[in-house]
Amino acid sequence: MHKDIATPIRTKEILDKYGFAFKKSLGQNFLIDPNILRKITEYAGLTDQTGAIEVGPGIGALTEHLARSSKKVLSFEIDQRLLPILADTLSPYDNVKIIHEDILKADVKTLVAQEFEGISDLMVVANLPYYVTTPIILKLLADRIPLRGIVVMLQKEVADRISAKPGTKEYGSLSIAIQYYTKAETVMIVPKTVFMPQPNVDSAVIRLTTLDKPAADVVDEVFFFLVTRSSFAQRRKTILNNLTSQLPNGKEKKEQILDALAKADIDPTRRGETLSIQEFARLSNELHPIFN
């Protein structure tokens, strides 16, 4: 067994060897606690038949745990300076491929199909760079990559929003966008002390399990997400006020919006945060013919 990368001493040795300096703009915070990495790997339920997709491997701390537990790891790293370090730290593992590309610009679906041919169990497991957490998760879900699920470390505050239930102050369009595709649960809170350098916020590990079919039946997904975003535009406003001010020509169509709310059995004075995904689906299906 090779010495874990994720110890403070080993991490410092690697960084010193390469003269590596952290870039704040890339949200680089490296984990230095092997126990937490083991737990993340366990939550992902990896087997020797799993293909693991990672974003932002850093110096390979989580990557090596994934390599030990899965059949193959495909890892996206945007920072050129980390490529020689990863080639070195991951040299004991022949089942890792590093792609030097921004995952938000990459054709992930095609890459996954090529690299994981014959592998049907796919999981995303990552310690995500905090400044792009949400766009990365949304892209992975929207691209309809056939994932079993996603287990990622992210800011605790974002984890709270992703797994929030209706009627809470954390609940919003992000909760809906992710819970439309997955079952979301926060499985672990992670203190800032296990990172180098320490971030300013606490972190959490969230597990998203892909649903067999979306959580609600909608006529038009793009429009459904537009309606949910519009409903939370100003949280203190009623659903009627938000929809009339946010949807195209909403003010002129106020009567039709009221009509749609009535048909969907939703009181126009409610606030967006009180509506379930199913209620938003009914509402967007009623509004769809008015705006399309």
Give the annotated binding-site residues.
29, 31, 56, 77, 102, 127
Can the peptide bond before residue 191 be classed as cis, meaning omega within 30 degrees of 0?
A: no
| 216-236 core/surface letters (b: 16 or more CB in 10 A; e: else) | bebeeeebbbbbbbbbbeeee
- The annotated binding site for S-adenosyl-L-methionine is made up of 29, 31, 56, 77, 102, 127
3-state secondary structure the chain: CCCCCCCHHHHHHHHHHHCCCCCHHHCCCEECCHHHHHHHHHHCCCCCCEEEEEECCCCCHHHHHHHHHCCEEEEECCCHHHHHHHHHHCCCCCCEEEECCCCCCCCHHHHHHHHCCCCCEEEEEEECCHHHHHHHHHHHHHCCCCCCEEEEEEEHHHHHHHCCCCCCCCCCHHHHHHHCCEEEEEEEEECHHHEECCCCCCEEEEEEEECCCCCCCCCCHHHHHHHHHHHCCCCCCEHHHHHHHHCCCCCCCHHHHHHHHHHCCCCCCCEHHHCCHHHHHHHHHHHHHHHC
